[in-house]
Amino acid sequence: MHLSVVGLFFALFTLTCAQISSINYGRIVQNLSPQDPSQKMCYGVVFDAGSSGTRVYVYKWECRKTSSTPRLQVSEQIPEKSIRGGISKFSSNPNAAGPSLIELINFAKGIVPSEQLSWTPIFLRATAGMRLITPDQQAAILDSIRKTFRESGFRFEDEGWARVITGQEEGAYGWVASNYLHDLIKKQVDGTKTRAMMECGGASLQITFVQPQDPPKNKININFPDINQYVLYTHSYLGYGQDQARNEVIKASIVNPNDDTVISPCYNKNFNSTNVFSGNPNLRVIGSGDATKCAALIKDYMKLDPACKDCSIGGNYYPGIPEGMSIDGLGSFVFVNQFYNFTDSFSANALFARVNDFCSSEWSSVQRDHKVDEFLSTRCFSGIYVSQLLTSAFRVDPDTAISARSKIKDVTVVWTLGSMLFDMSTLRCSPGTEDCIYDDDRYKKALLYTFISVLSFAIVVVVLTVIIVAVRRRQRQRMYNRV
């Protein structure tokens, strides 16, 4: 009778303990298995707040095991969506800046699984348009955006998660994006084997590359702790994006400040329109379509110093792109590559030949021959500008091919990719959160639980054995006593 009750308890204990330890054991096995088929994906959201619009990108990667650089999934298209008008336009009405982004936040919410929102980081990085307004205006706009982000359901921890980045950061992130997509950001690849990056936006221009010797100026360190680190030369020229440069070059052709008409060699022959020059919408611009004259005006605007060998635009330090290094172009480079019918790459010489032809064409026939293109009138200038950036500003051999692809495989080459990689590699996997499923601390905890279960199981076994032995002895004693 006594014996059977004890036996039942023993069986129950054994079962419970076995169950507890098998759960933990299962977790550990799952956590240690390198190719878990149900590998969970983690997400990150980054907003590119540019001068003419805001675009959101949703990147994803296999959830990290430790605090390391995530491996972004770049085998498929990255979801993106944009709205027109830069956030800097809210300078007189800053409280509307945050709510203006809700449409894009909702787009991101449609991609990230809802149970993962609270640990999915959301970043906003603003560029040239915001650099041009006052610090007070910037702060008011960013405060409104931070408030909206905090209420969005995404993970938004620090003011720095929504901020204006410097031109150097923008250049460095663009460099990372392109080299990452070319599979050159890794341990085995020496920095000198990476590619140089030129990016020409609307308001600013960036150039970035690894220099064999540390550059004395314009140096930026990019460190991916578990991969590699790079010393980059990078410079951002505010005012040398194609829209700002075009306006300055038109201005240079104005003979008398009171003139209501200007003749510009940077527009197609017999182009004739107002609403072209941002300094005065009423100014009538007449095109003369002379690429060589336009190139000379651009060179003047670049304020090059022929006596300085290590200088570029405005006399700024520029060491030259190392010989043999491949060059990528983004922004205007991509638009020019497409418009002038090149496939993926072009040289300054080949570009200038086509541009020369195009600019000297009559505006009326150009309009007839091209499908609707809201930037058609600026194509002549941008072609000349890009060719002059290459040959005059950055002294690239005029026959060197510049690669100008907007996408590599299916992924848009854009600095946000570099920014996301860099921000995530500096963001620790914090114990107790889900963004780091293989976190070391959790693994240690699982080990501890197993150890405790096994230990308690052993204690129970010992205790029960002692009890059983004691009970049996007593039974035997009773039998003796009866006998």
Annotated catalytic sites, by residue?
Answer: 170
Asked if 320 and 218 touch (Cβ cutoff 8 Å), the reply is: no
Asked if 206 and 174 touch (Cβ cutoff 8 Å), the reply is: yes
Distance CA 38, CA 480 (A): 64
| Residue 220, number of CB atoms within 10 A of its CB | 18
Asked if 218 and 317 touch (Cβ cutoff 8 Å), the reply is: yes
Token pair, residue 191, equals 């920095």
Q: How far is CA 308 from the centre of its chain?
A: 35
Distance CA 430, CA 415 (A): 26
DSSP state for residue 126 in the 8-state scheme: E
Closer residue to ligand NAG, CB minimum distance, 230 or 335: 335
- Cβ 294 to ligand NAG shortest distance, Å: 16
Phi, psi dihedral angles at 304 (to 5 degrees): -80, 150
- Cβ 369 to ligand NAG shortest distance, Å: 5
State the pairing for strand pair 402-403/80-84: unpaired
- Cβ 368 to ligand NAG shortest distance, Å: 11
| 39 is known to lie in a ligand binding site | no
- Cβ 257 to ligand NAG shortest distance, Å: 20
Collect all residues with Cβ–Cβ distance below 8 Å to 335 and sequence separation of at least 6: 375, 382
| 203 is known to lie in a ligand binding site | yes
Asked if 329 and 403 touch (Cβ cutoff 8 Å), the reply is: yes
| Best CA proximity match to 88, nearest among 38, 120, 51 | 51
| 205 is known to lie in a ligand binding site | yes
Closer residue to ligand NAG, CB minimum distance, 242 or 419: 242
Residue with tokens 């091209």: 370
Distance CA 163, CA 428 (A): 20
Residue with tokens 């027109």: 84
Distance CA 378, CA 295 (A): 14
Token pair, residue 235, equals 């410079």
- Cβ 259 to ligand NAG shortest distance, Å: 13
Closer residue to ligand NAG, CB minimum distance, 123 or 358: 358
- Residue 311, phi-psi category: left (phi > 0), alpha (psi -120 to 50), beta (remainder): beta
**Residues pairing with 121 in the sheet:** 155
| 365 is known to lie in a ligand binding site | no
Closer residue to ligand NAG, CB minimum distance, 342 or 457: 342
Closer residue to ligand NAG, CB minimum distance, 165 or 285: 285
- Cβ 379 to ligand NAG shortest distance, Å: 7
Which strands, in side-by-side order, build the sheet including 41-49? Answer: 80-84, 53-62, 41-49, 122-126, 162-164
Tally of CA atoms within 13 A in the half-sphere of 255 that contains its CB:
7
- Cβ 378 to ligand NAG shortest distance, Å: 13
- Cβ 384 to ligand NAG shortest distance, Å: 13
Asked if 232 and 342 touch (Cβ cutoff 8 Å), the reply is: no
Chain residues binding ligand NAG by CB under 6 A are: 272, 286, 339-341, 354, 358, 369
Closer residue to ligand NAG, CB minimum distance, 233 or 340: 340
**438 three-state secondary structure:** coil
Closer residue to ligand NAG, CB minimum distance, 301 or 339: 339
Phi, psi dihedral angles at 289 (to 5 degrees): 55, 55
Closer residue to ligand NAG, CB minimum distance, 323 or 369: 369
Closer residue to ligand NAG, CB minimum distance, 258 or 343: 343
Q: Where are the beta strands (DSSP E) in 247-350?
A: 261-264, 272-273, 284-287, 327-331, 345-346
- Cβ 160 to ligand NAG shortest distance, Å: 44
| 204 is known to lie in a ligand binding site | yes
Distance CA 413, CA 327 (A): 14
Annotated binding site for ATP: 202-206
Binding residues: 202-206
